[in-house]
Amino acid sequence: MSTTHPLTPFFAPTGVAVVGASARPESVGHALLRNLLFGASDGREVRSEGFAGPVYPVNRKGGELLGEPVVASIGEIDGPLDLVLIAIPGKYVPQVIDECAAVGVRHVIVISAGFAEIGEEGKALQDAMMARARAAGIRIIGPNCLGVIRGSSLNASFGAAAPPAGGIGLLSQSGALITGIISYAHGERFGLSAAVSLGAKADIDDEEIVDFLAGDPETKAIAVYAEAFTEPTKVYESLRNASRIKPVVAIKGGSSAAGAKAASSHTGALAGSSAAYQAAFAQAGVLQANTIGEFMAWSRALAVQPPAKGKRLAIVTNAGGPGVLSADAASRCGLTLATLAPETIAALNEVLPSVWSHNNPVDVIGDATAERYRDALNIIGAADEVDGIVVIMTVQAMTAPRETAQAIIDAHANPAWTKPLTASFIGLAGSEVGGLLDAAGVPEFNVPETAVSAMGALMERGAWLAAQETDVVAPSLPPMDTETIEAALAEARAGGQKNLDLALARKVLAATGLRYNGSGTAADAEEAIGVAEGIGYPVVIKLISPDVIHKSDVGGVVLNVAGPAEVREACAGIRERVEAAHPGARITGFTVEEQVSGTEIIIGMSRDPGFGPLMMVGMGGVFVEVYKDVAFRLVPLTHADALEMIGEIRAQALFDGARKRPVLNRDELAAAIVRIAELVQRYPEIAEVDLNPLVVTTDGLVAIDARVIL
């Protein structure tokens, strides 16, 4: 580990003091001291298992604690000291910060609570603490945190146990989650390189810990539990930089739709806190887990196995049922079962019984020996048509679990083996047999679906890395007509329009280079007839009103208007319905549009309070908020980002010509997404945008409706 990183003393101090060390076994100060000295609070008193450097208990009462002399203050310490843990009532903490400054200590972990989390009085105390710390150049983790753990070499926390040493660097806003994962790590036989609880994040924030772990040789994968980032854009940049170096897995807690409740557009209603974080993780190359089980399984696999070069999975099993269930799990994870090549099948025929499955999953039959597993894995591991392997074993009367585990390890140790491998020995949860595999770098899980899910993470990681190496050529776009845009925005402001009327909204978005259907505006039904006859029937009649956001919801859109009489009827009906639904709403006229048919898409933007502009694309039309088949990315975004967004939409078949629909030009749609992103970057007064629907026609994309909100 580099000693030049400014956070290094939090993880590899030369000496540590515990302010608030106590003789009371139930106290936090006692647990901190015991963990530093002995590595854990489980009753052991073996000094060699704790921190190797000097540990100084600090307590005004003096005396001796756990065999160490107690000093009354930090100023009395005579020896190397560069990390101080504080576990005393909050009101005394600023004074201790002054003492640290006086002796040159610049790294402090404030375990104590009673700061901003309790209200204004606590906030004032926290501000006083930070003012003194900043004046002295002191960096603080906390307050109100569990502490910091560095593998098995430093337990500067009050958790009950230290984790086994390993390759996962864990950053968590929840200290309790860290202690739970440590217990889980002991049962599942994996280890941590570091565990950091940030608590209230008065000073050191997520991005600094991510940066440290990204450059830490002991950390092979980073795992982040977040409820909220203090400065989301900074953390996003740190995560994106870290992902280029090593895999990052995240799980988000506390997602809220509160921000969406006040939104006016479809995009705003769909874009809550969860969507913004999901977009940030996807764009940064972070794998976002949905459950704690996924979070840890993916982290375990990514810390010890290489990323896959594709998504073609082979399953090797001695039981048909688990093989079928694993194949189902692979489908849910977006993986494909590899089609075994004739030469692979021929080679397997030489080493397997004649009744083997002759297909993938490769069922090596219930009486499989360790040698049969080894032979099958050697063949499949060399098969070009396979990108990753999940191996499953169920215990039969003739099964030799230990020997089979060793055979898997031997096959995996082949220098020619470059593919990721995960395993599941069903029924042997927590056994030493599974421990053999984990110790050899083959993550073993209790159930095969978890092994498949972990393999999916390895394949997603490989796909993301490959995408970073692929040059995506973006189509050239004409310059935006900024003069027209600025004139339209000025007209809206002058007229007091927060929600631009349809004519102005279309003018703004058309000036970005988007193509609209033929249209015109009319003050009344007679003018609308003239416009319709100029366009050609059938047409669509739409309400123009600065007071109505969703025209369809109030009957403000009439389709398939085929002649003058129908135009009069449509205009009269719109007036009647709007007056009933929104008494007093201003009706300034009607838009008459060419009727266009095809697959409907939405492009939108809303502004997240933390991350800023958030772009959306998905299946459009009036049911966009019902189906919610949408994807998000942060602004700025690239053409490649936009293509990834389009690829996340579930209704892909509709884009590819299903039901004789026109085929989507994905580059054209991606270019439109990028152009709207450029618009909202240039004009920050635009709060929300909806381009819905944007219709896929045989002649390309045609915009139909628009909403721009300032």
**Which one-letter amino acid corresponds to residue 561?**
V
The answer to whether 710 and 617 have CB atoms below 8 angstroms apart is no
Q: Whole-model pTM? A: 0.88
**Pick from 673, 662, 666: which is nearest to 695 by CA?**
662
Contact at 8 Å (CB) between 674 and 638?
A: yes
What is the Cα–Cα distance from 520 to 507, expressed in whole angstroms? 12
Report in angstroms the alpha-carbon separations of 27 from 30, 31, 38. Answer: 5, 7, 16
Residue 392, pLDDT above cutoff 80? yes
Average pLDDT of the chain is 90
Which pLDDT value is given to residue 255? 58
Write out pLDDT tens, residues 601-654: 999 999 998 899 999 998 877 667 777 788 999 999 999 999 999 999 888 888
Q: Average of pLDDT values for 259-271?
A: 45
* Cβ atoms of residues 587 and 569 within 8 Å: no
What does the pLDDT read at residue 700? Answer: 87
Q: Is the pLDDT of residue 264 over 80?
A: no
Strand order in the sheet with 519-522: 519-522, 589-594, 539-544, 557-561
Highest mean pLDDT among 36-50, 236-250, 521-535: 236-250
Decide: 512 and 676 in contact? Cβ < 8 Å: yes
pLDDT tens-digit series, residues 660-693: 788 888 999 999 999 999 999 999 999 999 888 8
Q: What is the pLDDT of residues 446-462, one digit of tens each?
A: 999 999 999 999 999 99
* Mean pLDDT of the 374-384 span: 95
What is the C-alpha separation between 338 and 45, in angstroms, rounded? 53
What pLDDT digit, counting tens, does each position of 86-118 carry? 999 999 999 999 999 999 999 999 999 999 888
Q: What pLDDT was estimated at residue 257?
A: 52
Mean pLDDT of 543-561: 87
Q: Which residues contact 541 (CB under 8 A, 6 or more apart)?
A: 528, 557, 558, 561, 567, 570, 571, 574, 590, 591, 592
pLDDT at 697 over 90: no
pLDDT at 271: 44
Query: Could you please report the per-residue DSSP string of 413-453?
Result: T-TT--S-EEEEEET-TT-HHHHHHHHTT--EESSHHHHHH
User: Residue 269 pLDDT > 50, yes or no?
Assistant: no
For the CA atoms of 661, 665, 671, 677, the dihedral, rounded to the nearest 10 degrees, stands at: 30
Say whether pLDDT at 72 is over 90: yes
Mean pLDDT, residues 5-22:
96
pLDDT reading at 549 higher than 60: yes
Domains in the chain (CATH in brackets) are 8-219 (3.40.50.720), 306-468 (3.40.50.261)
